Amino acid sequence: MIQKLISKIQKTSAPIVAGLDPMMDYIPEQIKKAAFSAYGETLEGAAEAIWQYNKGLVDALYDIIPAVKPQSAMYEQFGIPGMAAFEKTITYCQEKGLVVIGDVKRGDIGSTSEAYAVAHLGKVQIGNRTYSGFHEDFATVNPYLGSDGIKPFLKVCREEKKGIFILVKTSNPSSGEFQDRLIDGRPLYEIVGEKVAQWGQECMGDTYSYVGAVVGATYPEMGRTLRKIMPKAYILVPGYGAQGGQGKDLVPFFNEDGLGAIVNSSRGIIAAWQQEKYGKYGEAGYADAARAAAMDMREDISMILNSKA
């Protein structure tokens, strides 16, 4: 799957992943009105609104970006109907040729970790048959419990040729409370980065590993260090745009081949219609606004990478 992701990035010239993190405030009124008319102001109504909103976004984006990243929590809050919308969104994105990164941040040990890996990347055995649950192409994983929590995911990655992105240095302001703590004189995130590189050797594609890392755009100098520590790991870079990361901050995350990183934008794309810059599209044109924002982001990153070259 890492080769598919790289090929899609090269084809679209867009190392971009759109975070499908729907909030009810982002969804235009006409979509909510139709959903609530059909299902009432219920969990089912909210899930239908999310699904229709996502479908419009995907239809507008699938040919100009390589991947999407649905955040499971945004769906889980609406219970079983929300998770049905999550799965429906994943299926539709894959039908459109998009790579799907499930932002699920799972992390546990033993049989629990095995179950998480199967649920999101593998197949579950039921009698004589196997089924895929949420069937994402990649999943985000929390490494805090150590190798016991990662190895079940590595096993599924090898079996299914799928991938994971391990949290290394996250974009949130308080990440340093733990991630920057010195261990034998070195920050913890560097030690985690070394483990990512080690784990990645067990799941190599042609040029990059199936084991990637999450490193926030808000910490470019740390990104520079981690890029050297993890030369074969693809880096998922959150924090661009709404969280303060700028185009110039992205350079350290890429390798000399212009690859090695994919940059996430969530509300900056999916709620672009609410920004003054894209206000001309209005609520009805929310999907067109998202497309315009994604194209602007592509141009921003392209200019920065070309200046690096």
What is the pLDDT tens value at each position of the chain, 309 positions in all?
A: 899 999 999 999 999 999 999 999 999 999 999 999 999 999 999 999 999 999 999 999 999 999 999 999 999 999 999 999 999 999 999 999 999 999 999 999 999 999 999 999 999 999 999 999 999 999 999 999 999 999 999 999 999 999 999 999 998 889 999 999 999 999 999 999 999 999 999 899 889 999 999 999 888 999 999 999 999 999 999 988 665 556 778 989 999 888 999 999 999 999 999 999 999 999 999 999 999 999 999 999 988 887 655
Q: What's residue 282's pLDDT?
A: 95
User: Distance between CA atoms of 181 and 188, rounded to whole angstroms?
Assistant: 6
User: Distance between CA atoms of 118 and 129, rounded to whole angstroms?
Assistant: 14
Residue 54 lies in a domain: yes
**Model-level pTM greater than 0.85?**
yes
Total domain count for the chain? 1
Residue 218 lies in a domain: yes
User: Distance between CA atoms of 41 and 21, rounded to whole angstroms?
Assistant: 20
Q: What's residue 64's pLDDT?
A: 97
Q: H or E segment at 176?
A: helix 176-179
Full domain range(s) for residue 12: 2-304
Residue 23 lies in a domain: yes
User: Distance between CA atoms of 84 and 90, rounded to whole angstroms?
Assistant: 10
| 3 state SS of 57 | helix
Residue 309 lies in a domain: no
Residue 143 lies in a domain: yes
Catalytic residues: 105
Cross-strand partners of 166? 141, 213
- CATH number of the domain to which 68 belongs: 3.20.20.70
Q: What's residue 257's pLDDT?
A: 87
